[in-house]
């Protein structure tokens, strides 16, 4: 066997080994993307499961806010039914987040509701789920970014083309749908509202509690009279 043939065989072997390594790396990265998406789906389902109880709790204090409650229920059903691509899921999430933001804006007008223990528990669980969802979203998008970079880069793009590895979609909710205020911010600090969205507005007079429900807290005592 001549030296030229040996060199040719060595190049072929190296190319085959490089192709195998590149293929296996694509498979690993694609599985990471899918696993990361499964984490997002888990957090989304957990959030959807909290909404019916949240709506029922708010209904007990603000049953006349029928339009807001129906918007949340319908948007939640549409988002939960979305089983397509990440882009399709994000499109369904936009109206749901907007409806949920509107619901919490209404809650600000009902201090007795904000003091309800069941509401506070649901609010806390929703806030924790939102934190986990954002973490899962960042992890997923980071994996998609690394995977897509290899799909687009040479020479790994050749392997991607040969074995039909295509770019994956990011999971992002459009700014136009999310609004300027962003996702609900849960704040249990003293003197702070339960949920805020970064925008002000005129607050109507506090609503009375439902029948059988006591007030939240007694008013503070008056300041001492100066000597």
Residue 44 within any structural domain of the chain: yes
The answer as to whether 217 is a domain residue is no
Secondary structure string (H, E, C) spanning 95-117: HHHHHHHHHHHHHCCCHHHHCCH
- Given a cut of 80, is residue 179 above it in pLDDT? no
pLDDT at 46: 93
pTM score: 0.71
Indicate if the pLDDT at residue 195 is higher than 50: no
Q: Is residue 6 part of a domain?
A: no
Identify whether the C-beta of residue 192 lies closer than 8 Å to the C-beta of residue 204.
no
Is 67 domain-assigned? yes
Q: What is the pLDDT of residue 173?
A: 66
Average pLDDT over residues 158-165: 91
DSSP notation for 169-183? PP----HHHH-TT-S
Structure tokens belonging to residue 196? 């805020």
Token pair listed for 134: 């954002």
3-state secondary structure of 185: strand
- The total number of residues shown for the chain amounts to 227
Candidates 98, 101, 80, 105; CA nearest to 176 is: 98
> Residue 201 pLDDT > 70, yes or no?
no
pLDDT in tens, 84-141: 789 889 888 889 989 998 998 888 889 888 888 999 999 899 989 989 999 999 999 9
Q: pLDDT over 90 for what percent of the chain?
A: 43
Mean pLDDT of 154-182: 74
User: What's the structural domain count of the chain?
Assistant: 1
pLDDT band for position 7 (cuts 50, 70, 90): confident
CATH number at residue 105: 1.20.1440.20
Contact 56, 187 (CB under 8 A): no
- Please indicate, yes or no, if residue 220 is contained in any of the structural domains: no
Angle between helices 86-107 and 3-59 (to 10 degrees): 30
Is pLDDT above 70 for 1?
Answer: no
Q: What is the mean pLDDT of the chain?
A: 78
pLDDT digits (tens, 9 = 90+) for 49-80: 999 999 999 988 888 888 999 999 999 999 99
For residue 106, being part of any structural domain is answered with: yes
176 lies in which domain range?
Answer: 16-181
Is 9 part of any domain? no
| In the predicted structure, residue 169 carries a pLDDT above the cut 90 | yes
User: Could you tell me the pLDDT band of residue 224, with boundaries at 50, 70 and 90?
Assistant: very low
> Cα 127 vs. chain centroid, distance in angstroms?
10
> Measuring CA to CA, which residue among 86, 101, 87, 97 is closest to residue 41?
86
Residue 119 CA neighbour count, 13 Å, CB half: 23
């Amino acid at each position: 066997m001549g030296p030229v043939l040996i060199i040719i065989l060595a190049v072929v072997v190296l190319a085959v080994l490089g192709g195998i390594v590149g293929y296996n790396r694509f498979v690993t990265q694609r599985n990471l993307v899918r696993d990361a998406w499964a984490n997002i789906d888990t957090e989304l389902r957990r959030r959807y499961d909290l909404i019916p109880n949240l709506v029922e709790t708010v209904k007990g204090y603000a049953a006349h806010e029928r339009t807001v409650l129906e918007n949340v229920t319908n948007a939640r059903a549409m988002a939960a039914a979305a089983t397509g691509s990440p882009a399709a899921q994000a499109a369904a999430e936009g109206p749901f987040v907007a409806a949920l933001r509107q619901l919490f804006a209404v809650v600000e007008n009902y201090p007795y509701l904000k003091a309800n223990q069941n509401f506070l528990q649901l609010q806390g669980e929703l806030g924790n789920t939102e934190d986990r969802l954002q973490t899962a979203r960042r992890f997923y998008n980071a994996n998609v970014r690394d995977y897509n970079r290899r799909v687009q880069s040479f020479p790994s793009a050749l392997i991607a083309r040969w074995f039909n590895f295509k770019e994956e979609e990011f999971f992002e909710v459009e700014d136009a749908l999310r609004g300027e205020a962003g996702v609900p911010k849960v704040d249990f600090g003293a003197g702070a509202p339960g949920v805020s969205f970064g925008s002000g507005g005129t607050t109507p007079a506090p609503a009375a509690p439902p029948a059988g429900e006591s007030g939240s807290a007694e008013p503070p005592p008056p300041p001492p009279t100066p000597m």
